[in-house]
């Protein structure tokens, strides 16, 4: 199974900011440190946007894999280490991107819907953003049931 969560807000904000920087560079040619800073910062914005514009989740019989944007940032977990998956709602404080709290890691690019993974021999949890939390959690739990883990 594969799901994708597109960060439209991230894309919009970064695209508008990048467009504004380019427009300022054209209308007011770079002079001094401020102009150089705008030109130097534009590629950084583009790179960050490419890294975080989307979150792809792939689940197979052995692993859960996530990939941000163009795929340079990725993470995976063995299904054998997972106890259960549950659809959850992230709070505003969980934010977007990659965040770590005391016992929870959050991977998200848009919205507040997520799947929370609980692990067999650990108190830590992982929340993965998705636009289909019930479907994704159900699929993971069915795989765990087939292996006799739930």
Question: 16-30, pLDDT tens digit by residue?
Answer: 988 887 787 777 666
27's tokens: 């209308």
Task: Look at residue 31 and tell me whether its pLDDT is greater than 70.
Answer: no
Q: What average pLDDT does this structure show over 8-14?
A: 88
Map tokens 């998956």 to a residue.
85
Nearest to 59 by CA among 40, 41, 45, 79: 79
Domain ranges (residues) in the chain: 1-150
CB 136 within 8 A of CB 1: yes
Q: What is the pLDDT of residue 54?
A: 95
Task: Look at residue 34 and tell me whether its pLDDT is greater than 70.
Answer: no
Read off the pLDDT band of 80 (50, 70, 90): very high
Distance CA 60, CA 137 (A): 13
Distances (CA, A) of 73 to 48, 60, 91, 97, 99: 11, 19, 23, 11, 14
Task: Look at residue 150 and tell me whether its pLDDT is greater than 60.
Answer: no
Q: What average pLDDT does this structure show over 4-14?
A: 89
Pick the CATH number of 1-150 from 2.30.29.30, 3.40.47.10, 3.40.605.10, 3.40.630.30: 2.30.29.30
Where are the strands (E) in the chain, listed by range? 2-6, 54-59, 63-68, 73-78, 82-89, 97-100, 104-108, 113-119, 125-129
Q: What is the pLDDT of residue 147?
A: 67
């Amino acid at each position: 199974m594969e799901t994708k969560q597109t960060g439209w807000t991230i894309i919009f904000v970064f695209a508008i900011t990048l467009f504004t920087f380019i427009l300022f560079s054209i209308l007011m040619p770079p002079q001094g440190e401020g102009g150089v800073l705008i030109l130097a910062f534009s590629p950084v914005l583009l790179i960050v946007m490419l890294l975080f514009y989307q979150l792809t989740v792939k689940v197979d019989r052995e692993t859960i894999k996530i990939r941000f944007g163009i795929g340079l940032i990725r993470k995976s977990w063995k299904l054998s280490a997972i106890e259960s998956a549950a659809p959850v709602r992230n709070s505003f404080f969980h934010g977007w991107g990659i965040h770590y709290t005391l016992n929870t890691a959050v991977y998200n690019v848009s919205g507040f819907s997520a799947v929370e993974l609980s692990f067999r021999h650990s108190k830590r949890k992982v929340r993965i953003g998705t636009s289909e939390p019930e479907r994704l959690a159900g699929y993971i739990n069915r795989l765990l049931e087939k292996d006799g883990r739930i």
